[in-house]
Amino acid sequence: MAGMEMRALRKSYGGLEVLHDIDLTIDDGEFVVLVGPSGCGKSTLLRMIAGLEPITGGEFRIGGRRMNEVPPRDRDIAMVFQSYALYPHMSVGRNMGFSMEIRRRPAAERAGPVAAAARTLGLDRLLERFPKALSGGQRQRVAMGRAIVRDPQAFLFDEPLSNLDAALRVEMRLEIARLHQRLGTTTVYVTHDQVEAMTLADRIVVMNGGVIQQVGNPLELYDRPANRFVAQFIGSPTMNLLDLVADADGLRLGNGVRLLGPAPAAQLGIRPEHLAVVAPADGEITAQALVIERLGSDTNVFTEAEGIGPLLARVHGNVDLRPGDRLGLRLIRERIHLFDAAGRRLPPMH
Amino acid sequence: MAALRRTPPALVAGKYAAIAAYVAFALFPLYWLLKIALTPDTLIFSDGTALWPSELTLDNFRTVIFQSDFMAYFRNSVTVSLSTAAATTLIAAAAGYAFSRFTFRGKRWVVALMLLTQMFPLLMIIAPIYKLVAAIGLLNSLTSLIVVYTAFNIPFATFLMQSFFDGIPRDLEEAAMIDGCTRLQALRVVILPLTLPGLGATLGFVFTAAWSELLFALMLINSNDAMTFPVGLLTFVSKFSVDWGQMMAAGVLALVPSCLFFLFIQRYLVQGLTSGAVKG
């Protein structure tokens, strides 16, 4: 096992720079999730870590050793691909032991680690099968088994759950978490799914446009997003953003409600779960319910707020509302986020 | 619903009748080849267009095998076709892999040039080819045919191989390289076994093309020793008559290697080997 260091890492294709000055340190044994929208550069960064993409500039180290020019096979890493990338002409057992086979370890020596990994992943009975005879979840497990048998310094996962259905995704997510707890191997995991990021990560790296937006543990990102992008990307449903008007007396919302806060604030962010639904007369915002989504444990109330625009409130449990009903909304003050015109986070208002 | 969707029996019968008619139409020349090869010389004209010969004989085959140069032509054809197929497939596989996996300067130009070579009718270039081959002293040699056939088959075979490589996910090579392979090892251990259907198809295509080529063989080969079988077939045509029975018997025999070759490669032609490699 080993930590990783990236210093001013850059990647260009021709004249187009897609990753700009990435600085990131990953501790030994840490589970780091790279998250961001499509095209943000997270997969490219992972491929640079793996050695599958050349590094244009900067320096990358694993366990203190410079890796920029080291080919993938000598980096001592294992990678689980989104497509699983199982060798179709090899049995499950041979797939899992392939990294040892290519290093000319005798079959007897390979059998132990393969059997142990197969037991861990519940693949004992499938070792003789070929990938085409496996279900999606089983293929995913074989891909993970192949990585485990490699016993690497670090695991790399490239959106490994995207091709699974929702139930299986939850199950495999749990399996990956348990595996990391057991093995404690440094892991870099790429996903665009923020639930995966929040549930798996020791630390999350939020990326956009080839730039790291924020690095932090899941709750830091949820409670103190560094900017408007992170605020909107982390948390589901998405945070509400309300425009603020500054006048001689301070800040006010579009509907005239006054707020205390630093003058440069241009927008106020409030997560749907931090908007309290109250009677119309008790709210600082009056709104009309448009759509009610009842999820059982929670209810999403999509509203059109007077003087403000669309607002989404999330209420724990059920709520007695129908589309067209009028309601009041209150902002939970200590949960308000403020952003300046450039989208940067400002100190809280209380 | 199932009852509503069931195809009417008349339609099913019609479909099978159409397929049968097509197969009969496509295979009829082959049947005719065999029929005349088995008909005694004396009955060829009297039997005329009767569907079944009134008498069967193997005399034509006997004459062709034991009393003509046909076996020599046959050997020449096998040498030329196998060598061409092997050389072309080897070069086309390497080129196809490069086109599929690498971006390099001038790639588009190379592809365009290769396409360009396919646009000229062969008749246009036969004279310069003759001059070239004569200049290097390769006239009347099987080598000249192998070189020329290989050169002319490479572009198409390359595009064919490229499409097979394109169908193999890059992830597989990358996974192999992370598992400890060099690129060459990944190619040999992971990619090549998955390309067998492509190699089989390319081998089959080039073999058949070289096996039945007449134009270049006619121009570049004069001596009886170096004649390939399509040229040899013309020896059954004499100034005053055509030896139909023997010609057809030679034709039937010429089908044998092609059939054997396809029988040999057909298990590699079976598709679907890569299913299960990636999602779904």
pLDDT tens for the 350 residues of chain A, in order: 689 999 999 999 988 999 999 999 999 999 999 999 999 999 999 999 999 999 999 999 999 999 999 999 999 999 999 999 999 999 999 999 999 999 999 999 999 999 999 998 989 999 999 999 999 889 999 999 999 999 999 999 999 998 888 888 998 999 999 999 999 999 999 999 989 999 999 999 999 999 999 999 999 999 999 999 999 999 989 999 999 888 777 788 888 888 776 667 889 999 999 999 999 999 999 999 999 999 999 999 999 999 999 999 999 999 999 999 999 999 998 899 999 999 999 887 65
Q: Do A81 and B194 touch (CB under 8 A)?
A: no
Q: Do B277 and A77 touch (CB under 8 A)?
A: no
Chain A residues closer than 8 Å to B188 by CB: none
Q: Is the pLDDT of residue B87 over 80?
A: yes
Given CB atoms, is A103 within the 8 Å cutoff of chain B?
yes
For residues A201 and A328, membership in a common domain is answered with no
For residues A157 and A264, membership in a common domain is answered with no
CATH number at residue A279: 2.40.50.140
Nearest CB neighbour to A99, from listed B171, B179, B193:
B179
Q: What is the pLDDT of residue B239?
A: 72
Q: Do A85 and B172 touch (CB under 8 A)?
A: yes
Enter the tokens of residue B75.
Answer: 């050997």
Cα-based distances in Å from A12 to A8, A45, A72, A210, B231: 13, 12, 19, 10, 59
Q: Do B279 and A136 touch (CB under 8 A)?
A: yes
For residues A22 and A49, membership in a common domain is answered with yes
Q: Is the pLDDT of residue B5 over 80?
A: no
Chain A residues closer than 8 Å to B193 by CB: 89
For residues A190 and A84, membership in a common domain is answered with yes
Chain B residues closer than 8 Å to A95 by CB: none
For residues A183 and A262, membership in a common domain is answered with no
Nearest CB neighbour to A88, from listed B177, B189, B275:
B275
Q: Do A84 and B278 touch (CB under 8 A)?
A: yes
Tell me the shortest Cα–Cα distance from A47 to chain B, in angstroms: 10
Domain ranges of chain B: 9-57, 69-269
Q: Which residue of B has its CA nearest to A80?
A: B175
Name which of A67, A74, A80, A84 to mutate to probe chain B: the one with the most chain B Cβ atoms within 10 A of its Cβ.
A84
Name which of A87, A101, A103, A148 to mutate to probe chain B: the one with the most chain B Cβ atoms within 10 A of its Cβ.
A87
Q: Greater confidence, B242 or A182?
A: A182
pLDDT band, residue B274 (cuts 50/70/90) = very low
Q: Do B176 and A98 touch (CB under 8 A)?
A: yes
Tell me which of A213, A232, A251 is where a domain ends. Answer: A232
Tell me the shortest Cα–Cα distance from B275 to chain A, in angstroms: 6
Residue span of the structural domain in which A191 resides: 4-232
For residues A207 and A97, membership in a common domain is answered with yes
Q: Do B279 and A84 touch (CB under 8 A)?
A: yes
For residues A270 and A214, membership in a common domain is answered with no
Q: What is the pLDDT of residue B81?
A: 95
Starting from the edge strand earliest in sequence, which strands make up the sheet with A57-62, in order?
A16-26, A4-13, A57-62, A65-66
CATH number at residue A41: 3.40.50.300
Give the count of domains, chain A: 2
Asked whether the beta carbons of A129 and A157 are under 8 A apart, the reply is: no
Q: What is the pLDDT of residue B233?
A: 86
Q: Is the pLDDT of residue B3 over 60?
A: no
For residues A122 and A171, membership in a common domain is answered with yes
If interface means Cβ-Cβ distance under 8 Å, which residues of chain B face chain A?
169, 171-172, 174-182, 185, 189-190, 193-194, 272-280
Collect all residues with Cβ–Cβ distance below 8 Å to A289 and sequence separation of at least 6. A301, A302, A303, A321, A322, A323, A324, A325, A326, A327
For residues A14 and A142, membership in a common domain is answered with yes
Q: Is the pLDDT of residue B131 over 80?
A: yes
Tell me the shortest Cα–Cα distance from B194 to chain A, in angstroms: 7
For residues A187 and A293, membership in a common domain is answered with no
Peptide bond into A323 cis (omega under 30): no
Collect all residues with Cβ–Cβ distance below 8 Å to B44 and sequence separation of at least 6. B36, B244, B245
For residues A169 and A273, membership in a common domain is answered with no
Strands A203-208 and A31-35: parallel
Q: Is the pLDDT of residue B209 over 60?
A: yes
Nearest CB neighbour to A88, from listed B185, B273, B279:
B273
Given CB atoms, is A34 within the 8 Å cutoff of chain B?
no
Nearest CB neighbour to A77, from listed B178, B185, B278:
B178
Q: What is the pLDDT of residue B271?
A: 54
Given CB atoms, is A78 within the 8 Å cutoff of chain B?
yes
Reported for A340-345, long-range contacts at CB under 8 A and 24+ positions apart, including other chains, are A340/A264, A340/A265, A340/A266, A341/A264, A341/A266, A343/A227, A343/A228, A343/A229, A343/A267, A344/A226, A344/A227, A344/A228, A345/A224, A345/A225, A345/A226, A345/A227, A345/A231
For residues A253 and A115, membership in a common domain is answered with no
Q: Do B279 and A83 touch (CB under 8 A)?
A: yes
Q: Do B177 and A73 touch (CB under 8 A)?
A: yes
CATH homologous superfamily of B69-269 equals MetI-like (1.10.3720.10)
Chain B residues closer than 8 Å to A89 by CB: 193-194, 273
